[in-house]
Structure 1
Amino acid sequence: MNNFNRFIAIVLLLFSFPAVLRAQPVFSTFSVGKKQFELNGKPYVIRAAELHYPRIPRAYWEKRIKLCKAMGMNTICIYLFWNLHEQQEGKFDFSGQNDVAEFVRLIQKNGMYCIVRPGPYVCAEWDMGGLPWWLLKKKDLEVRTLSDSHFMARAGRFLRKAGAVLAPLQIQNGGNIIMVQVENEYGVWGDDGHYMAAIRDTIRKAGFDKVQLFRCDWSSNFDRYEVAGVASTLNFGAGANVENQFEKFRKINPDAPLMCSEYWTGWFDQWGRPHETRGVNSFIWSLKDMMERKISFSLYMAHGGTSFGQWSGANAPWYAPTVSSYDYDAPINEAGKPTDKFFAIRDLLKDYLNEGEVLPEVPDEQISLITVPQIKFTKYAALFDNLPRPNKSKIAQPMEFFDQGWGRILYRTTIPGSASERRLLIEGVHDYALIYLDGKYLGKLDRRLNENTVKVPKAAKAARLDILVEATGRVNYGRAIIDRKGIAGKVVLKDGNKEMEVSNWNIYNFPVESEFQEGLKFTTAIGKGPGWYQGSFTIDKIGDTYLDLSSWGKGMVWVNGYNLGRYWKIGPTQTMFLPGVWLKKGLNQIIVLDIEHGNSERLQGVRQAIYEVVQDESMLHRKPGEELDLKLAKPVLTGSLPNEPGWKKVTLPATEKGRYFCLEVTQSQSENDPVTSLAEMEVLAADGKPLSSLNWSVVYADSEEVTSIGSSADKIFDLQESVIWQTQITGKKPPLPHAVVIDMGRIETVSGIRLLPRGDTNATGIIKDFRFYLQDKPFTIKKTSGQLK
């Protein structure tokens, strides 16, 4: 056989094999080198875009990936959401919208690498930080710790399932996964290196045995623990001082590559707070600084999308639920459109590509925005006429103990009559309760405002008591993450000096699944009060759109069986994003559940998001006419802080006891600066460790910026360094001194305080001189007039 015939025979032989055998994967390596990441042995700077597959309809996954590449990214970073994939214990779902492996393959198809962050805890402003609700059935549950074997066993089972799905896609196996994260921002939670080592080992045993592992923390806490064999990265926000952020890290890890694993492009919105934005200028200059230094980064978020359904979470302390929109003021907005921030990043990064990389053109628009015609609702199902079969319980208990994960829950019982007015105290309202007596509305209780008591009118005979509770998102951050929904404490009826715990409940569950809503008894008589409104609309063109809910109250929306999420008239989001891929040409069905009906039975479609806060004065920490009087108060500490980044610790001359403290700022670092700002504050116990701020509440703050940005006083103990307390910066700036008063909830022994100044490049309001007061009794707050000074 001559050489030509031999060549032909080999070619024919190769093509006779199945395609899967012919297409051998290309095996590569990715690792940590000296002061750099290395791809196949060569220096590599990661430019990652964070995307969350559940927050993007599957049909749009590849469109978002292509946009990220066109923005200048070479990597996509993703979380895995345990509670999404295991919504009922032991039942795993990695298919359809949950097919994360397909999402990773689409990333590889488009020539990009992938970073996977499997948790088990992820935060992400996602219900319970990604931990499944059914864990809460265990009454003594602990999470993120070795001390609870129940948690560790189930977390391990999930990580093994995740490994079975994704480990074959490691770069060393021919895939595109270059790094896998161990846990998430653990330094905020604790310092147990043994726990982190256990999670590391579990991830390795789950199949991620070749890929580079890493962890992420903040510059203020990354050194709280150690875990061998795991690279370390830092998280910080738009406009941060890059030099300051990495200063301590470089001293401890002189040979480590530098990476900002979450560079916060914007921020998330919370109900009742201003819409959060971050300017392009401060954002882009810090990003340019990182590029000049060859520092890898991941944009959190590149595109936030939407927390559809029940998945938006909450922060605490103080309880602050997150809206369904996860727009995040990201470079690609909620509807998937590039913003000015997108083009600024693209223009910057074109000059910082790695060898061999090419910046593609921005993809053509494929999904247009349409306006849904006005919808008129023709059917109604009253909540109290659609009660499911009840559960019976001696005491009021959270919904988790009745096998309910999300939604609304109704507690019903009978209370005796009384010749006098009484008070109803409900401990642990989680999160928004409406109270009725014999069908008559008595009032509401809002967890955000720490409300727990309503007046009960006198009644000649026994009456039916109904308490309807809506869950508005489990806490996803900090120690309050053990957040059961419904009523999490006692219900007590107070009649003068007499107290009676209310008991013998019928408890009705209203889940969020569309099948439940569609199976209700609808009538053509449109009513008021808690209930479901059913309607339809017809379109002749498919496109993305927004629904304007500004005239409605509080509830949830389903379109063609898809749950769009929560709405609430208090804002800042007054619209809900409706993806065109969930619509049909012709007739479309819509159901709106409203527990606090507004002024409309109609709903209008719009082409863009509407942001408007219905200002609630009760959210401010200084009522009109109030003024703090410190004339008779004596400071236990007077100090002056250096003008340096990072935490400042100041120790009291001797330990002091008290429940209420006041931080009074008398001078900023800049002499003519009337503003005060502070990122975080800790009060130290007798042993020098920070006291828990879980039960803290702001009693008074003389000034807060809540118009241009959400910089209220509770930001000093929310455990989020990127958001700050800042006195008013819009309009006329009130002069120094500025003060904030905190109730710690009980008498504590205090040895000192720690203060963290803002970490961005803006020096406005950084504290220099201060006084710290501590006392058992509340501080004097006088009522002077009806106006704020």
Structure 2
Amino acid sequence: MKKRDILFFSAAFVLALLFGCGNGSSQHSFALGDSTFMLDNKPYQIISGEIHYPRVPREAWRARMKMAKAMGLNTIGTYVFWNLHEPEKGKFDFSGNNDIAAFVKIAKEEGLWVILRPSPYVCAEWEFGGYPYWLQNEKGLEVRSREEKYLSEYKKYINEVGKQLAPLQVNHGGNIIMVQVENEYGSYGADKVYLEMNRKMFVDAGFDGLLYTCDPEKDIVKGHLAGLMPAINGQDNPAKVKQAVRNLNEGKGPFFIAEWYPAWFDWWGTPHHKVPASQYTGKLDTVLQAGISINMYMFHGGSTRGFMNGANFRDTIPFEPQISSYDYDAPLDEAGNATDKFMKFRAVIARHLPKGEKLPDVPAAKPSMALNAITFDKEIGIFDYVGPGKVNENPLTFEDMNQAYGYMIYQTKVTGGAKTELKINGLRDYGIVFIDGVRKGILDRRLGQESMMLKVPAGTHSLEIFVENMGRINFGPNLLKNKKGIVGEVTFGGKVLKSWTMFSLPFDKVETSKIKETKSAKQTPVLKLASFEVAKPLDTYLDFRKWGKGVVWVNGHNLGKYWSIGPQQTVYLPAEWLKKGKNEIVILELNKPEINQLSSLEQPILDQMSDNK
């Protein structure tokens, strides 16, 4: 072989390694047929499941995708989360667990196509529906509208997303087959000019492949933009799916259920949602038999860690913050193990495989363990932990303080001498009231509580209100009413209180060097610190049934919140975030500072309600 030929062969081989993995050759086409999708000019039925990259440790992405293949999925869907990628204005982050491009590439290596949903509004039971908190500091900005400031920030964001992901579209040699424009917009508005602006921004950002919209059946006309493929959410009657799509698409398909719900999510203080697989297997079989493509929401939920849970708002119930577990009663449980629903869905999908295809074996369940009980030997009261405050005549919101998430302490002076009503006009969302550092009671937005009677001795005293942001609303018309903290006036005996000091507790990280005391006698929220040994890292579930309310970190990872009211009683600790040998755990406990020992279990408890607060 001549030297020139050898060089040519070597270069071709390297290119084949780089681009020929996963789905085979990089040269693929994906298009719309009259009734089906067309992959490489052949009819193709999408069988997809939703997985959100930030809800799964990066170290476990590949394992979850292997489970998707084992159930029979050929595609995965994911949102892209603006508030993760631009947590502060102009500061973008696509590293670590935010590396969405790596997530897509791993899917390709595992033989999976990807449906991308970078809206930028996602809903998803996610904080502020995916919007970054700082948008509320842009005066006059109005999300999901033609307002100029919103469009300007949106454009900057989608351009950054395009840099990461546009090269990974199928028409550029990647595995992203479709990109969703906006997200259930018909449930919010009906401005077709705004939708066209969305489409153009996507194209300008490099998303020049197949674009589509998705909406529930009742809103699909309002949310669809002519020229884009319409998809339907929540409907699984084949005749109704086809009719709704044909009405918008010149009597043609293809037909895609963009969100098919095998169960539902949970929020604090209500029973766990769990639906038997038998209620869905027949529907799945019917949909696949009809040649309709599908995306299960969720195939695997995972966990909403950090302070990223959202909340719902209804007229009858003012506030419904979601729990940290996003188990969703999905086919793949929170830890990534196959459930009964997984196995039954797998059996249905197997009946619809192309001739000669066979599903891979189901990977074994991950082993789990119960740790030895952890005793906390260091702690600090939260009033001793905070740094300097900021003084202002009126209470400042989290946004005023440029604080995204977490907690804040509001302090001022009151004059006592009689039993008097304390009233907070706009508590967002959970407040613990103290007089001179002594706990007096709790106010809970979920329950419509904004006032309490206080018996304060004569003279001047310190009033402290510890406020928790429990997650911004992620759906509906109240997206623009999402500031946190104390958002209005506070009165005491009808008199407006002035001269406030605000102390920020964002807890983007915990200063463990401050946690030194062996025991705090105060009944304030408290930070507790301990270390524990692990011989072999395995999954475990921290058991908070004896605790009150708070958040937990292990080895610097914020695992999410717990609250004894349920239904979630355990917090999932993945093996990937444990170390052989010494590990560090920190807990912020709001209501039961006297509790000092933490147990764990081999299995989660996600369905236990309690009056214990």
Could you give the per-residue CA deviations for residues 118-149 of structure 1, whole angstroms, max 9, x where no partner exists? 01100110100110011111354311000x21
Tell me if 1:359 matches 2:354.
no
What's the TM-score once normalised by structure 2's chain length? Answer: 0.95
Could you give the per-residue CA deviations for residues 747-775 of structure 1, whole angstroms, max 9, x where no partner exists? xxxxxxxxxxxxxxxxxxxxxxxxxxxxx
> In the alignment, what sits opposite 1:152?
151
Q: Where do 1:611-650 residues align within 5 Å? A: 611-615=606-610
Q: Unmatched 5+ residue regions in structure 1?
A: 619-789
CA distance in 2, matches of 1:32, 1:163: 23
> In the alignment, what sits opposite 2:305?
308
Asked which structure has the greater RCO (Cα within 8 Å, sep 6+), the reply is 2
- Cα displacement (A) at 1:248: 4.0
- Cα displacement (A) at 1:459: 2.6
Q: SS of the residue aligned with 1:191?
A: coil
Q: 1:376 to 1:526 in 2, by over 3 A?
A: farther
User: Which amino acid in 2 is paired with 1:376?
Assistant: T
> In the alignment, what sits opposite 1:405?
404
> In the alignment, what sits opposite 1:783?
none
User: Which amino acid in 2 is paired with 1:468?
Assistant: F
CA distance in 1, matches of 2:11, 2:322: 56
Q: 1:362 to 1:614 in 2, by over 3 A?
A: closer
Is contact 1:180–1:213 with CA below 8 Å preserved after alignment? yes
CA distance in 2, matches of 1:100, 1:593: 30
CA distance in 2, matches of 1:22, 1:336: 29
Is contact 1:327–1:333 with CA below 8 Å preserved after alignment? yes
> In the alignment, what sits opposite 1:536?
531
Could you give the per-residue CA deviations for residues 390-438 of structure 1, whole angstroms, max 9, x where no partner exists? 0111111211110110000000011123x43211110111110001111
CA distance in 2, matches of 1:86, 1:12: 44
Q: 1:16 to 1:336 in 2, by over 3 A?
A: closer
CA distance in 1, matches of 2:565, 2:105: 41
Q: 1:168 to 1:275 in 2, by over 3 A?
A: same
> In the alignment, what sits opposite 1:333?
333
- Cα displacement (A) at 1:595: 1.1
Tell me if 1:276 matches 2:273.
yes
Q: 1:15 to 1:395 in 2, by over 3 A?
A: same
Tell me if 1:559 matches 2:557.
no
Tell me if 1:207 matches 2:206.
yes
> In the alignment, what sits opposite 2:172?
173
Is contact 1:14–1:22 with CA below 8 Å preserved after alignment? no
CA distance in 2, matches of 1:475, 1:304: 19
> In the alignment, what sits opposite 1:296?
293
- Cα displacement (A) at 1:197: 0.8
Could you give the per-residue CA deviations for residues 184-216 of structure 1, whole angstroms, max 9, x where no partner exists? 01011011111111011100100011x100011
What RMSD in Å do the two structures reach over aligned CA positions? 2.0
> In the alignment, what sits opposite 1:122?
122
CA distance in 2, matches of 1:617, 1:408: 22
Could you give the per-residue CA deviations for residues 696-728 of structure 1, whole angstroms, max 9, x where no partner exists? xxxxxxxxxxxxxxxxxxxxxxxxxxxxxxxxx
Q: 1:16 to 1:255 in 2, by over 3 A?
A: closer
- Picking from 456, 471, 474, the partner of 1:473 is 471
Could you give the per-residue CA deviations for residues 50-76 of structure 1, whole angstroms, max 9, x where no partner exists? 100000001100000010011000001
- Cα displacement (A) at 1:611: 2.9
Is contact 2:424–2:451 with CA below 8 Å preserved after alignment? yes
User: Which amino acid in 2 is paired with 1:424?
Assistant: L
Tell me if 1:520 matches 2:514.
yes
Is contact 1:404–1:509 with CA below 8 Å preserved after alignment? yes
> In the alignment, what sits opposite 1:131?
131
User: Which amino acid in 2 is paired with 1:154?
Assistant: E
CA distance in 1, matches of 2:242, 2:574: 40
Q: 1:579 to 1:617 in 2, by over 3 A?
A: closer
Q: 1:346 to 1:460 in 2, by over 3 A?
A: same
CA distance in 1, matches of 2:86, 2:233: 28
- Picking from 3, 10, 14, the partner of 1:15 is 10
Q: SS of the residue aligned with 1:468?
A: strand
- Cα displacement (A) at 1:518: 1.8
Is contact 1:271–1:322 with CA below 8 Å preserved after alignment? yes
Q: SS of the residue aligned with 1:221?
A: helix
> In the alignment, what sits opposite 2:386?
387
Is contact 2:301–2:334 with CA below 8 Å preserved after alignment? yes
Q: 1:311 to 1:439 in 2, by over 3 A?
A: same
> In the alignment, what sits opposite 1:429?
427
User: Which amino acid in 1 is paired with 2:111?
Assistant: G
Q: SS of the residue aligned with 1:513?
A: coil
CA distance in 2, matches of 1:91, 1:509: 21
The total of aligned residue pairs comes to: 602
- Cα displacement (A) at 1:345: 0.9
- Cα displacement (A) at 1:256: 1.9
CA distance in 2, matches of 1:227, 1:405: 34
Could you give the per-residue CA deviations for residues 154-196 of structure 1, whole angstroms, max 9, x where no partner exists? 1111110011000111111111010000010101101111111
Bigger radius of gyration: 1
> In the alignment, what sits opposite 2:107?
107
Q: SS of the residue aligned with 2:213?
A: strand
CA distance in 1, matches of 2:420, 2:254: 64
Is contact 1:431–1:469 with CA below 8 Å preserved after alignment? yes
Q: SS of the residue aligned with 1:416?
A: strand
Is contact 1:378–1:526 with CA below 8 Å preserved after alignment? no
**Identity, % of aligned positions:** 38
- Cα displacement (A) at 1:14: 2.3
> In the alignment, what sits opposite 1:585?
580
Q: 1:354 to 1:83 in 2, by over 3 A?
A: farther
> In the alignment, what sits opposite 2:23?
none
Q: Where do 1:7-46 residues align within 5 Å? A: 10-15=5-10, 19-20=14-15, 26-46=26-46
CA distance in 2, matches of 1:334, 1:409: 31
CA distance in 2, matches of 1:277, 1:242: 24
> In the alignment, what sits opposite 2:60?
60
CA distance in 2, matches of 1:241, 1:119: 26
Q: 1:356 to 1:110 in 2, by over 3 A?
A: farther
CA distance in 2, matches of 1:485, 1:128: 11
Q: SS of the residue aligned with 1:220?
A: helix
Is contact 2:49–2:76 with CA below 8 Å preserved after alignment? yes
CA distance in 1, matches of 2:374, 2:465: 31
Is contact 2:565–2:612 with CA below 8 Å preserved after alignment? no
Is contact 2:107–2:114 with CA below 8 Å preserved after alignment? yes
> In the alignment, what sits opposite 1:162?
161
Q: 1:255 to 1:16 in 2, by over 3 A?
A: closer
Is contact 1:125–1:322 with CA below 8 Å preserved after alignment? yes
Is contact 1:34–1:256 with CA below 8 Å preserved after alignment? yes
Q: 1:329 to 1:225 in 2, by over 3 A?
A: closer
Is contact 2:524–2:593 with CA below 8 Å preserved after alignment? no
CA distance in 2, matches of 1:406, 1:133: 8
CA distance in 2, matches of 1:154, 1:226: 23
User: Which amino acid in 2 is paired with 1:413?
Assistant: T
